[in-house]
A and B are shown apart, each in its own frame.
Chain A
Amino acid sequence: MKFNKMFRYLLYTLSLAVLFLPAISASAAETVAQSNKSLQQQIDELNRKIDEAKESSAKPVHKHESSDSLIHLAGYADVGYVNGESNDGSFGVGSFSPIFHYQYKDLVMLESELEFEINETGETEVAIEYLTVDIFLNDYVTLVMGKFLSPIGQFRQNLHPSWINKQPTAPVGFGHDQAAPVSEVGIQFRGGVPAGPVKINYAVYGGNGPALEENGGEIEAIETPGLNVDGDGKKVYGGRLGVYIPALRLDLGASGAAGRAAVWDPSVDPVTYERSRDYQAAGVDFGTKFFGIDLRGEYIKQTVGKQAASVAPEKAEWSAWYSQVAYVISPINTEIALRYGAYNTPERTTNRTQTAISVNYLFANNVIGKVGYENNEIPNELNPKQRVDNRMLVQLAYGF
């Protein structure tokens, strides 16, 4: 009975709905038509805007709406070919080094360079070349914290990227674990101050410092990869003071660092350290331009003191210097660079003198093809001037 009532009610509603359906759908159709119309209007409007945009983009656009955060990808890469006495001709990839820049207003910048390299067994290795957060404290002081290129000297921090270096290789003694410190993890203040006709630039830092590699009772190398832990608990402090004289286009710099460093054993876990000993670094550099000639040079040295408690108790010193002259023959976009340098170590057989020449074709100011020849000799050998690994190098470098 109840069910019957409900059924009738449903039927009644349904038939009403069927009766009114045409009316409802008619009004729905009207709404659809209306919204179609407004859609069409919107499409027309958009088309007009696109046409406008097309017109304005016909001229090049370099402008940007100013934003507070900026992102920029820079970096460099190089590929090449080497043929030397110890290498029967190999193609090779030098490195791919992208640099990431993030900047928030003129307050802070994050700069980081990664270094991708292919090793001898074909595997790719990645390293953080540097990673710092820089706070622009004021117009003359910037605080830099993290892993940075050593402020000691000039080649390592400012001239080693392959599109900048006018030779396919670093000067002898200026490579990794040689005479020039490479990286540091710590805190740094750097900046510039105008002083009448000259400009002063400076960098002062404190950091974890290097570790010392021991072999056969002697210190084999000072390692400065930018250690992320201060194993010996002793910091190294230093800096560089530079003067730039615009009128003479002359850059002069003097650097120094002092602190303590210890022999380590990185093969065990956790890494162990001996008692620390004195560590010092010093350098002078110059660079100038006259009549289109680019002349520069640098001397650098690192010393470690005695430590009676060490397996390698003696002091040791590594030093290197180079000088380079380069000239661009503008009409043919070709540059000729000549470099001479020497590297002195505690172990006579690793001492070197080096003469290098490179002929560079500038595809663009940041895209350089180099063909170089390097003559390496062990100085003061009885067997007069023993030649070691002279080589021919070809390199294509791109700074982007």
Chain B
Amino acid sequence: MLENQPEKWDMEVDLVSIGSGAGGLAAAIAAQDHGLSAIVIERSSELGGVTAYSMGEVWIPGNHLASGLGLEDSPESGRLYVQSLSMGYGEDRAMLNQAIHGPVALKYFEDRIGLKLQVIRNFPDYYYPHNNNSVAEGRYLEPVPFAAETLGAFQHKTRLTPHLPAGFTHEDIFHGGGLANILAWNYELLAERITKDLRCLGPGLAAYFVKGALDRGVQLFTDTSADELICDGTRVVGVRATREGKALFIKAKRGVVIAVSGYERNKDLAKTLSNLLDPVSMVFGTVDGAHFRLAGPLGARIARVPDPANLGIHMPGEEHDNGTPLWRGSLPFLGLPHTIVVNRAGKRFANEAFYRSVYYAVDHIDGATQTHPNFPCWMVFDHQARTKYPCGGAMPGQDLPEGFAVISGSLKELAARIGVDPDGLEQTVGVFNDYAEAGVDPDFQRGTFPWGAAMTGDIKHKPNPNLGTLREGPFYAIALQRMGGGGINGAGLVADHHCRVMGWDDRPIEGLYVAGNSMVRFDTGAMMQSGLSNARGMTHGYLAGRHAAGCPSDLLDTALAGQGTVA
């Protein structure tokens, strides 16, 4: 163990949380509530992390809000769902730990900080109804609109998202016909929420936690980057940070929580840890793998679960508020009627209405030719899609900015212009159009995942919300770029059930915790379920804060003792 203490500390607290997303804030709140003094340091100029960029979905099986509505579920059913989809890449103990503590952490933050979530009605699990333990609704929660004025001086220091209007809840969006039917949304309501700064989705979720931290006197430092962990030879005892260009040594008597999200903005780490080549990203630049730089020198163990490349699009002229180009996830657009995704051969290769299917297929390597048969790939759509649906930041019917799409009157010419086999594309579209008319996709089963219909289809489109012909020119093609997972990456720090970072010797590194996306996803393995990342962050923060305060949760031990196993 390192011994690198400074001659003098600039500050002294019990717990330092590094990163101000759900994970870091939850840990600081839980610690402070259990009698510790806590500080959150955040490298960017705003609080809230990628949590605030998110859709604000929180996925917790067996939560009390669903049971209050009479929706039948249990943490155990959720655990079985996750485990059965994890393909052996996860760890049973980690899955059980999340299943047990998710509902507990939710209740805790409701009671303590006034977190208000609601069930997103009629919003199914990804694999509903294909998995025996999936549910049609109840596990997905989202924030009730949060009055950001109550944040006082931090109102404008708490992050918003460029990805969606933060004045709408899922309920509002689905009520208006879903993401596809953007013109039918209630914009009067949006205007009212913007005027009153009532925040929904991720900005709402992050704001609840910022408020919780402020209310109990947790110190919140923005523009403060953690650069090194400080140890006394036996345990982690502090952090060296940089603030206003100067070193700041913060003593952490009870522990340090690393909650700095993933590493996708660091292209080298993305390539070497996730085999993600030259990715673009939906998130801001500070999501660049600080957890490895911080914990690596202490011998922290890292591991990886499968994490396919996402696919992104950039509409020229759209930027983050710091001036960098904004990349959007292509997920909401790929499964829309009148839209397909094709490879160089002009062939479809996956169920475009279920992103897990597309993304894993994009990474596929043909060992015989040492190529990626499905990358590069293009989203191809017709005039009907352009008239009815949004595309990136462009509204239905709106001209696409120059450089966004290749446009042509004929499919063959379009294919030639983008370097796709023209005959292949024409044939694919011919077959697809027959499927679309019949409302059935025998090749890839588009439209058989209700989640995909809700999130990437047009729920008003008949007979199949994800199938519509490509018959009307002009035709459009947009090249899809490999993209990071929005902070969710496959590799991360290994931790025990109290979120203590583990060394390569399989022993916890004393005084060091990890929360959120910085922790490897042994609790999901190869599966993914939106809402789980925010849920993990909250849950990890709760567990880490309690443990650092000397009140560790014993629920996993109790559950395992009941099964005759030890934690």
Do A and B belong to a common assembly? Answer: no
